[in-house]
Amino acid sequence: MMRMAPEPQPWGSCWAIRAVGVLWGPSSGGRAGRMLGALLMLLVGYTVQDPPTPEDASGCGRSYLLDRVIAGDDAMARKWPWQVSIQQGKEHRCGGSLIAPKWVLTAANCVKKNDTLNVLLGTTILTEETNYSARVLVQEVVIHPNYQQNRYWSWIGRENNLALLKLSDKVNYTKQMSPVCIASSAIDLRVGSFCWITGWGQTKVGDPDESVPLSPILQEAEISIMHNDDCDTLYHDVSEVPSIVRIISSSMLCSDYSRGRDFCYGDDGSPLVCEIDHTWFQVGVVSWTLGCAHLETPGVYSRISEYSKWIEREIAELNSATAILRVSSGIVPSLLLGPLCVVMAL
């Protein structure tokens, strides 16, 4: 249903390699070689990365399933290693996804600039922290500059609903904590494609006055992608937005609830992922809906392929602005150009 994307690489996972020539090392040509290397780094303005650990080198989009969302099933440990819980204290606020060692992707409506937050990774149970899980403080919140919380009536049509969380410490990748690949425009996501949503949101719909708890266990549900035009028509039918105004834009995508599965309260910010040739790509972020599990109001997601360049640019700029240049004997810098790794081997 989808054509193959270029070979995926998680942002921030480039690393330096050992030189055989001129820059740092015993055969580097001495002071002149070191000066040349330093000059190159100053001109380029990118960061030196540490050599990888075996876990860092594992790549993105790998599910390590051993060989609920509405009507969902209990998600097995290590199946969705990029899923995180964004918390205030130890209270779950929203879902998110690990996309790089120090970066989490979520929805803008989940966070504010000055929030004191942390993320819980490596577990499927909200109340359980183990030797395989980690809790990391959020250092910085980056909200999409064009985020519109109230685009039309109330929050129907919420646009550019994305945020990046920069973590205070790098996550060491394991089979319980590893990044998802980010979908680019090279991925052809077609109507009817089957993908998966995960989250700790409510698993049943209660009465308006009824308090329904979140699921303590990570839930999963398979959904299919519906046509944006059909989704737009459904939302016009239940809202007061004039028919000449487009609600579902090209930067959104919708899930078809005809199979009885959807996200609900508490799932905001969680990832929508599709598997392509045994690699998982994040194609959406849970954004908004009216109610839960209603045929006439499908779940709406931010379409990641429309924002991949913004994600790439923000991560590159903030990493560069705060990086400390580390030069080790015998190591040549790698240049991080967005998702592309350019390595100088001299």
pTM for the complete prediction? Answer: 0.74
Cα-Cα end-to-end distance for the chain: 43
Domain boundaries, the chain: 83-321
Q: Which residues of 77-111 are buried (b: 16+ CB within 10 A; e: fewer)?
A: bbbbbbbbbbbeeeebbbbbbbbbbbbbbbbbbbb
Q: What is the mean pLDDT of residues 22-37?
A: 42
Alpha helices, H only, 143-222: none
Percent pLDDT > 70 in the chain is 63
Tens-place pLDDT, residues 205-226: 655 445 667 888 898 889 899 9
Which among 275, 309, 313, 319 has a CA at the least distance from the CA of 101? 319
Please report the pLDDT score of residue 337 as a whole number: 31
Rounded to the nearest integer, the mean pLDDT of the chain is 74
Percent pLDDT > 90 in the chain is 42
Residue 269 near residue 285, CB atoms below 8 Å:
yes
Would the CA dihedral through 318, 320, 322, 328 be positive or negative?
positive
Residues 6+ apart with CB under 8 A from 152: 239, 241, 245, 247
Which is more confidently placed, 120 or 73?
Answer: 120
Backbone angles phi, psi at 322, to 5 degrees: -110, 5
Tens-place pLDDT, residues 79-109: 999 999 999 999 999 999 999 999 999 999 9
Which among 153, 185, 194, 181 has a CA at the least distance from the CA of 288? 153
**Token representation of residue 323:** 């990086």
314 DSSP assignment: H
Which among 95, 131, 91, 89 has a CA at the least distance from the CA of 110? 95
**Token representation of residue 173:** 């990748």
Please report the pLDDT score of residue 321 as a whole number: 62
DSSP string, 106-144: E-GGG--TT---EEEES-SBTT---TT-EEEEEEEEEE-
**Token representation of residue 126:** 């909200």
Q: Which of 173-177, 179-183, 291-295 has the lowest mean pLDDT?
A: 291-295
Tens-place pLDDT, residues 230-267: 999 998 898 888 888 889 999 999 998 656 566 677 78
Tens-place pLDDT, residues 258-311: 565 666 777 899 999 999 988 999 999 999 887 776 667 888 999 999 999 999
- The domain made up of 83-321 has a fold known as Thrombin, subunit H (2.40.10)
Please report the pLDDT score of residue 76 as a whole number: 67
- Residue 272, classed as helix, strand or coil, is strand
